[in-house]
Chains A and B, each alone.
Chain A
Amino acid sequence: MEMVKLTIDGKPVEVENDTTILKAAKTIGIDIPTLCYFQLKDMNIENRPGGCRICVVEVVGRRNLAPACSTNVAKDMVVNTHSIRVLNARRTVLELILSDHPAECLTCAKSGYCELQTMAQQLGVRELPFQGAQSTYRKDTSPAIIRDVDKCIMCRRCEMMCNDVQTVGALSAVNRGFMAVVAPAFEMNLEKSPCTYCGQCVSVCPTGALTEVDHSRNVINSLADPTKTVVVQTAPAVRAALGEEFGLAPGTLVTGKMVAALRRLGFNYVFDTDFAADLTIMEEGSELLDRLTRYLKGDQSVKLPILTSCCPGWVNFFEHNFPDLMDVPSTAKSPQQMFGPIAKEYFGKKLGIERKNMIVVSIMPCLAKKYECQRDEFKVNGDPDVNFSLSTRELAHLIKLANIDFNSLPDEDFDNPLGASTGAAAIFANTGGVIEAACRTAYELYTGKKLEKVEFDELRGLESIRHATLDFNGLPINIGIAHGLGNARKLLEDVRAGKSQFHAIEIMACPGGCIGGGGQPFHHGDSEIIKQRAAAIYREDAGKPIRKSHENPFIIELYKEFLGKPLGEKSHHLLHTHYFDKSAGTFVDE
């Protein structure tokens, strides 16, 4: 690549010729403010529509100002990032954006996390010189995501995530001019769209235009109800990110403090979704082995590859886009939904708690989980197996609300029996983790040999689509991994075309897996944060005394005492599910 020399704010800089002014400036410590621009470095995710015009800079010899995010450097270019002309233009543009934005900061769900608020602060906006009409729209509430697009600033990040990264196509720009906004086609509700509730739009929205449906009030009410036994389960990815909300460095594991905080919030039992993740491995791993063995014996009715089914965003995606392949994914429920019936039908009954008096709350890095727990097939006589699902962010708010000084909490342990878990369950949080956990168990069950090295390094990493061949005692097992639904689509299209060479495929809807979920603390485009969370998850695994799901003593006991065997009748009833064709009915107004 050819190098070019240029001058930015009087400082010489030399960069590759396809570098933008924004990135070139960064190399010499000049931080040009941006708003619509968004990047997750090393994850192939970038949004630079050049639309907000906050990052404009003066390029000597150019007629108008140039957007730094989308203008490449050139030889001998002279750039000024803070001349009077630039400062006036930048501030005027921001004042314009604010003039069409509801001044509801005091009550906005995004207050304190809002990038527009930060920008107003940074540019020193102290009054709003432009008054006039505001573009207003109907508010749209779905089971997981709230769209309050009066607050949309047309940065198009959500659109980029939904279309380019996830290939879901639920959101795009509609209307023209002043009324232009990002919405589902025909401005229908999100529920009528092919939305998977992956929540990546919420993770990248700079303002309060896209937020999650808040379940914390329901949880507070349940905790205050003396007739209810409130049980909580925490997903593996939460412990690697929750600390960020309390000022701890990204990647700080806060498992013990999180348990302590939940206990102080008043939950009667603090359990772990990790336990259910171990259970998932028993069921899904057995299903893999069952299908594989039958396939090797020549059973033509067996479908391979088997696809993981623990990600509800992914389940929604294939129900909308690949209904013809509904017999390919594993029938195992997700860990959240396995936990529910075990808590209510096994643990609750054991303690003599009536189903109606038990409330199961999940803490999830995910927004699709909010939708998942409301699915009809996960209810018994209208009572959901999992009553409420809180995001990592909502839990942090709840802890702050209860005046708990998180950082000074002692480390505490989960309650038994549904709090015990192995390292295999912990890594569910990372892309590649579910399949690695499944392979640890499947290997030992298939070969009857002990796995000496439990880490399958070939399954790890952040590359969008990965594959590896594992040696199961001479039998080569081909594994595929995709994170991000756009990548999943590629693998699924191969399956549809009969070209897939894989025996098993793991798919996670969110970039990075659950650690990058739509319910996690906002990363504001810093991919280092996601990498640190991933590293923390592998540390959690490495620190566990037991690292294979089938060795979890409480899982063994659960099968002995209650379930019988994996894929048995009770399992089939409580731990497996079926899927629905959702391809029809999208964008149809009733």
Chain B
Amino acid sequence: MQQTSPLTRAARALAPLAWTGPAIVLIAVVVVWPVVAMIQSSFLKISRFGVVQGSNGTANYAKLFDEPDFPGVMARSVIWVVAVVAITILLSLALAQLFNQRFPGRRLARWAMIAPWAASVLMTAIIFKWMLDPEVGLLNMVRRDLGLIDALGGADADQLGQAATAMPWLIAVAVFVSLPFTTYALLAGLSTIPAEVYEAAKTDGASRLRTYWSITLPLLRPALTVATLINVMNVFNNFPIIWVMTHGQPGYSTATSTIFMFILKGSDIGESAAMSVVNFGMVIVLVAIFLKVSKWKNEVS
């Protein structure tokens, strides 16, 4: 045992590579390489159909930052992410709490919750767009019958036609499709909290609110952190909802950075790649901020 040759020792040292190697290669090919390619292409001059015409320096970025719609698009993306994720988390906390109780028909309710998840996001967006159609939309017919609008077909019935009314609908649909995953993630978190802790709290005479605030929420933090992080990235990169329902129109007034990137791709791929890099940076910054904030909370408690 003691007399191992240097070769065997080297082999033993390298042995873990056999196990981690495939994963490393996979990450390098699937994650790192596309990122590198994306960053590279943001500095290239590329024709509309993808033929590289040489280096473009930082001109793609200059053009992007010079776009009159760029600041609005970025601000909107942040609002979009914060609004969708915050509302989703709040609603999911309540829903998870509900689904964690025993009540008749719970199984059915839990199943129903999966529906928005099981349906394709594209399909959901198309259905909502149709329900909001100014002439024949179901929601508009209900609104007319309730006396909220005078007639179909007019500007009042056209909620997706203006940014001010379209944005809340887009957010609502995004929340709708994000709820199932978030709720189930939190539900899983809830089920890991041991019943003894609650019994102890009860014995100490803690109120329900107090129990929730001091026991449930802190113990739910890991699930909450994961759910929020995944949602932040998903929602930031969400494309089909906005593209189907408004195309980012009127103008760019409902476009987030992902939509903007896609539209730019039709006219200038280099600029679109620059937008992707900015987008990528934004996600990292948002995630970093979130992690920082949640850690800070950790230290306080």
A-B complex is real: no
